[in-house]
Amino acid sequence: QGSTLLLLHQSGQTSTEYLAIAPLLADSFRVVAIDLPNHGQSDSSDHELTVDEYADAVIDVLDNMGISQAHMLGQHGGASVVINLGIRYPERVGKVILSGAGVGENVSEEELQKKLNTPLTRDLPIDLDGEFLNKTWSVYRNMSASTTPPEVTFQPFLNGLVQRQRHYDLHYAVYRYAPNLDEFNKETLLLEAEEDIYAGDVTALQRRITGSILRKIPNCGSWQFFEQPELHAEIIQE
């Protein structure tokens, strides 16, 4: 019911990132979560997409559903897509929630190349002993909060294993994306999970987005919408 709230998942995940929180928001919003291209049940592209192209795909979905404007929540890479939409399609974007989105500005070419050359878990070679599973699990546990039960970590871990079958995902598009935040003028809530090792400098992002509000979320890591859906729903509705 109510105005539309569009949920965009992080790189290498799917709309299932929001399965737990969506029902908690459905009394207040028309909740829509989609799989971005190259993720989940959406099509694979024949080339590495840019953030512009991911954002254009979102607009196609909104057009197809007859949604003229939506509030938007993006997690990690999904937040970059929301920022892009707010800059390029401001009339389609209402209020926004950017979660774990504190990517540094003015990234040097050296830093960019380091990111682009660092293998993702999907790049670990599959071996007969299954050591790639142990290595991937270690990464996903490190991205979880210290109190997160293993069965919660298992959900994004399983998504990540399925994602290995795709040639592209959102990661490298986000690494290459450098928006001019002076052009981003949206009422913004910033979320920072206190144990999210990939949240970046969210405080610096708050300084760049005039009037933005920052809420820090305890007992959460990079998988915060799997980990604490009830708390996030309360904060979003507030």
| Cα 144 from Cα 147, distance rounded (Å) | 8
Strands (E), the chain: 4-8, 30-34, 70-75, 93-99, 188-193, 213-217
pTM of the full structure: 0.96
Q: List Cα–Cα distances, 176 to 48, 49, 64, in angstroms.
A: 11, 11, 29
pLDDT recorded at residue 106: 66
Burial class (CB in 10 A: 0-12, 13-18, 19+), 137: middle
pLDDT recorded at residue 2: 87
| Cα 103 from Cα 1, distance rounded (Å) | 33
Q: What is the per-residue pLDDT across 131-155, written as a single tens digit (0 to 9) for each?
A: 999 999 999 999 999 999 999 999 9
What does pLDDT average to over the chain? 95
For the CA atoms of the chain, what is the radius of gyration? 17
